[in-house]
Amino acid sequence: MAPWLRAFCAVGLWLGLVACGQAQTAPTPQTPAPSLPTPSPAVISGVLIIDQERLFSESRYGGQVKADLDRASALISAQNRKTEQALAAEEQALTRKRTTLAPDAFRVLADDFDARVTALRQESDRTERGLTAWREREQQIFLQAIVPVLGELLQENGADAILDKQSVFLYSERIDVTDRAIARIDARLSDAGLFPDSAALNALAADPQTAKP
């Protein structure tokens, strides 16, 4: 073989070895595996939040309690205004008699007037306490009735506790179940036929003497 041919063959062999080496070291292209969307992690919390004030005031039961109290308070206020007007007129008449009556006779009338004013004031205080006691009793009945509903929400969400919003410094709105609780409470209490004792309140407004001291 001629020297130039041997050199040419040597160069060709070297180039072939280089090409083979590159073919062996180069990464083999592969079809990438299809990527699946990563699901967002579920929000899991051991604590739920409720707004206890809203739970009562925005429920149908609490709304009825407020409406009953407003109506009773308006009736009592109207009665009180009439009583005050009558007492004011009587006091003016008593003042005019002061110049025409003997001191002892005037003192008897004045003491009787003061005693009746004191009695009416005490009656008004008893009525006010009666209204407060009625509202507190209705709130207690409401709270006892909603315990099973809140227990269901607790179990359904896999939570360990329900806290009042007012006692929590910072929280996520996602764990606030107040609206869900109100909707379920309204349905449950309505189905059970549980409503405020409006008759007792109406009796108190009509006859303050029924208010317990």
Residue 77 pLDDT level (bands cut at 50, 70, 90) = very high
Q: 163-175, pLDDT tens digit by residue?
A: 999 888 888 888 9
- Mean pLDDT on 43-47: 68
Please, is 101 exposed, middle or buried when counting C-beta atoms within 10 Å of its C-beta (0-12, 13-18, 19+)? Answer: middle
Residue 80, token pair as written in the block = 């009180």
- pLDDT on residue 170: 87
Interval 63-70 mean pLDDT: 96
pTM of the model: 0.69
Q: What is the mean pLDDT of residues 125-148?
A: 94
DSSP designation for 100:
T
Q: Is residue 5 part of a domain?
A: no
Kindly report the length of the chain. 213
> Does 162 map to a domain?
yes
Residue 37 belongs to some domain of the structure: no
Q: Mean pLDDT, to the nearest integer, of 133-146?
A: 95
State which of 28-32, 59-63, 156-160 shows the largest mean pLDDT: 59-63
For the residues 188-212, what does the mean pLDDT come to?
A: 82
For residue 27, being part of any structural domain is answered with no
Is residue 9 in a domain? no
HSE toward the beta carbon, residue 66, CA cutoff 13 A: 10
Instruction: Estimate the share of the chain in helix, then strand, then coil, as percent rounded to the nearest 5.
Output: 70, 5, 25
Closest to 158 in 3D by CA, of 144, 175, 178: 175
65, part of any domain: yes
| Average pLDDT score over the chain | 80
Total domains present in the chain: 1
- 35 lies in a domain? no
Q: 60: closest CA among 193, 146, 189?
A: 189
Task: With cut-offs at 50, 70 and 90, classify the pLDDT of residue 71.
Answer: very high
The answer as to whether 135 is a domain residue is yes
**CB–CB of 57/64 below 8 Å?**
no
Provide the domain limits for residue 204.
47-210
